[in-house]
Amino acid sequence: MKKKLKSFKEILKSKFSLKKNKKIKEKCSCKYRKYIYSVSVILFIYFVFLIFAKNINAFLIFPEIFLNPGKKLEVNYIDGKKDKVIFYFAGNSSLKEINYFKDIGYKIFIFDYTENIKNNFEIKYEEINEQAEEFYNLLISKEGVSKDDVIVFGKEKGSVFASNFALRNNIKELILLSPVSSFYNFSEDKVGFIFHKLFFINDFNTKNILRNFYNKSLLISSNTYKYFNQSKNIFRDLEGEKYFVEMDFVNKEDLLNSYSSFLKEFVRCFINGTKIKNKYNFIDKQESQNMLEEIEYNRIFNNVDLFTDSSLTKFVNNKVPFQNIGYIPKNLVSIGAKHIIDSKGGTIKARKILKVNLEKMANDFFEETKNNIVVVSAYRGYLYQKGIKDRGCPDNLCAKAGYSEHQSGLAIDLYSASSNRNWANDNTLRKYYKWLSNNAHKYGFTNTYQKGIEVDGYDIEPWHWRYVGKDLATLLKENNLTFAEFYNQKKLSDNY
C-alpha cells in the first residue's frame, strides 16, 4: 500500500513538473518572440536607411537644394579687367563674395556643384570633381587663362570641394571662408548620432586633404561660427604659406558686411602678393581699421618707385642723384593759371601733372583765403642748377646739379625762398603755410624739407613743395614722415 501511494505521489509530482515546465517554456518563447520582433523591426529600419543613406545624407547637408528645387544661379561667368580668375565653389552659398572680386577687377567662374547633387539626390564626390576639372580645363583652353592665374575660393560647404580641387590641380592660391572639416558635421548635427559611421558613408575631410596642400592659402572665419574650431584646426595642419583671419564676435552671415572694407583689402593683398606681417590675425572693429591703414601703407610702400628718373616719386637729395645726371623731364608746361601767379613773367615751367593738381589746390586755396598762389621757382635744369652752385649758394640750402628735386619738374618754391625764420616771423606767410600744411597732401604735394639738415639733408624750407601723388603725400602726412624718412624706411626694407 505504501509503495502504491509513493508511486502515485511521484506520478502527480511528475505531471505537475511537466505542466510547470510547459508554462515556463511558453513564457520564455513569448519573451524571446518580443525580442526577436523588436530586433527584426530595428534591422528592417536599418536596412531601409542603409539603402537610402546617401540620399538622406544629401538632404541633411543640403536641405535648401531640395526645398527650393527651382532655384538656380543666374550667372556662372563674370568677366574682369585683370588676368586673375576666381574659380568659385558657390553651390548653395550666398554670392555676396563675388562683389569683392568684381571690385578688385578679377574674372569670376562660378562652379555650381549643387545641380549634380540635386539630379543624383546624393553627393557623388568623384563625379563632382570630374565636372569641376572639365570646366576648369575649358576655362584654360577657351579663355586662354594661365593655370598660375587661377585662385580657388570656397565658402562653408563649398570649402570641402574647393580644397580637394585645389590639391588635385596644384592650384597656387586657395581662399576658404568659414571652412568646415567635413560634411559629416552637418548631418551629425541634424540627427544627433554618428550617421556616417552607422551607414558606411564615405566623406571627404578638408583637414586631411589640406595636409598635403603646400601652396599659398588664406582662411577667414568668425569666432562665433559654429565650426570655428574646425577652421582653426584646418589652419593648424596646413603646410606652405598660410594666413588665418579670426573675425571677432560677428555672426557669419554679417561677417562680410561688418568687415567689408577690411576683408576686401586683405584679400587683395593676399592675391597680389603684398607682404602680410602676421600669419594669424585677430580682427575686431578697431584692429580692422588699424590693419586697413597698415595694408594701405604697405600697398603704397611696396609699389612706389623711388628710383626711375621719370617716376613721380623719384627720390633725390644731397646724397642721391638722378641716374642720368643730365635728366630732362618731358611734358613741361608753363606754370601760370587763373589763381597761380608766375613771378617770372611766364617763364617758369613744371611737369603737366604738377600743374593740373596745383591748379586744383590754387582754386581751393583762393576760395578759402581770397589769395592766389605765387610760384617763384619750379623746373631747373642741370646747367641752371650748376650756375646757382657756382655763384656760391651753400650746401645746406642749394643742391648740387643732378641732385636737385627741381630738376624732376615736380618741385615748386612758393612766395619767398628766403629762410625758415622769415616764414616763421611773417604773419601772412605763416597763415599760408598752415593752410598748405593741412591741405596740400589732398592734391599730392608734400613739404620735402621740414625736419632739418640731419633728417632731410637741407635746412627747413617751408616754401619748397614736391608733387608725389595723393597716395604717397597722404601717407607721409598721416604718418608724420618726410620724403627722406620714407626713403630710408624703404632702403632698409626687405623689398628695397
Q: What is the pLDDT of residue 75?
A: 45
Nearest to 451 by CA among 408, 409, 420: 420
Encode the chain (496 residues) as per-residue pLDDT tens digits. 544 444 545 554 555 454 555 555 555 556 566 677 777 777 776 666 666 555 655 555 555 554 555 555 444 777 777 788 888 887 554 566 677 677 777 888 887 776 666 665 566 677 777 888 888 887 788 777 888 899 999 888 888 888 889 988 999 999 998 888 776 666 565 555 555 556 555 556 677 778 888 999 999 888 888 888 888 888 988 888 999 988 887 665 566 666 777 787 788 888 888 778 789 988 877 776 777 777 778 778 888 999 999 999 999 999 999 999 999 999 999 999 999 999 999 999 999 999 999 999 999 999 999 999 999 999 999 999 999 999 999 998 899 999 999 999 999 999 988 888 999 999 999 999 999 999 999 999 999 999 999 999 999 999 999 999 999 999 999 999 999 999 998 888 755 4
Instruction: For residue 318, tell me if it sits in a domain.
Output: no
Q: Are residues 90 and 152 in the same domain?
A: yes
Nearest Cα to 316, choosing from 393, 394, 387, 409?
Answer: 409
What would the pLDDT profile of 55-67 be if each residue is shown by its tens digit?
655 555 555 554 5
Q: Are 63 and 117 in contact (CB under 8 A)?
A: no
76 plus 129 within the same structural domain? yes
Region of 374 (left: φ > 0; alpha: ψ -120 to 50; beta: rest) is: beta
Give me the long-range contacts of 489-492 (CB less than 8 A, separation at least 24).
489/301, 490/301, 490/304, 490/306
The order of strands in the sheet holding 411-414 is: 340-342, 373-377, 411-414, 464-467, 445-447
Q: Is residue 91 part of a domain?
A: yes
Could you tell me if 199 and 255 lie in one domain? yes
219 neighbors 212 (Cβ within 8 angstroms)? no
Which residue, 35, 61, 87, sits at the end of a domain? Answer: 61
Domain span holding position 45: 2-61
Q: Does residue 311 form part of some domain? A: no
Do 292 and 336 reside in the same domain of the chain? no
Kindly state whether residues 286 and 340 are assigned to the same domain.
no
Identify whether residues 195 and 80 lie together within a single domain.
Answer: yes
Position 316 in a domain: no
Residue 332 neighbours by CB under 8 Å, 6+ apart? 349, 350, 351, 352, 379, 409
CA distance 238 to 235: 5
Confidence at residue 19, expressed as pLDDT on a 0 to 100 scale: 52
pLDDT at residue 160, as a whole number: 84
Residue 212 lies in a domain: yes
Q: Are residues 37 and 77 both part of a single domain? A: no
Q: Is the residue at 324 inside a domain?
A: no
Q: How many domains does one find in the chain?
A: 3
CA 16 to chain centre: 89
CATH number of the domain where residue 436 is located: 3.30.1380.10
| Shared domain check, 262 and 245 | yes
Whether 201 and 258 map to the same domain: the answer is yes
pLDDT of the residue at 355: 97
Closest C-alpha among 217, 223, 243 to residue 284: 223
What does DSSP say about strands 216-222 and 173-177: parallel, antiparallel, or unpaired? parallel
Task: Quote the CA–CA distance of 148 and 83 in Å, as a whole number.
Answer: 10
Do the Cβ atoms of 65 and 73 come closer than 8 Å?
no
- pTM as predicted: 0.60
Which of 303, 323, 353 terminates a domain? The answer is 303
Q: Is residue 261 part of a domain?
A: yes
User: Based on the domain organization, do 243 and 98 belong to the same domain?
Assistant: yes
234, 130: one domain: yes
Same domain? For 156 and 200 the reply is yes
Strands (E), 131-267: 150-155, 173-177, 216-222, 242-247
Q: Is residue 354 part of a domain?
A: yes
77: which strand partners? 109
Domain end marker among 44, 61, 78: 61
Instruction: Give the model confidence (pLDDT) of 93-151 as tens digits.
Output: 456 667 767 777 788 888 777 666 666 556 667 777 788 888 888 778 877 788 889 99
Place of cell 603646400: 214
- What integer pLDDT is reported at residue 10 of this predicted model? 56
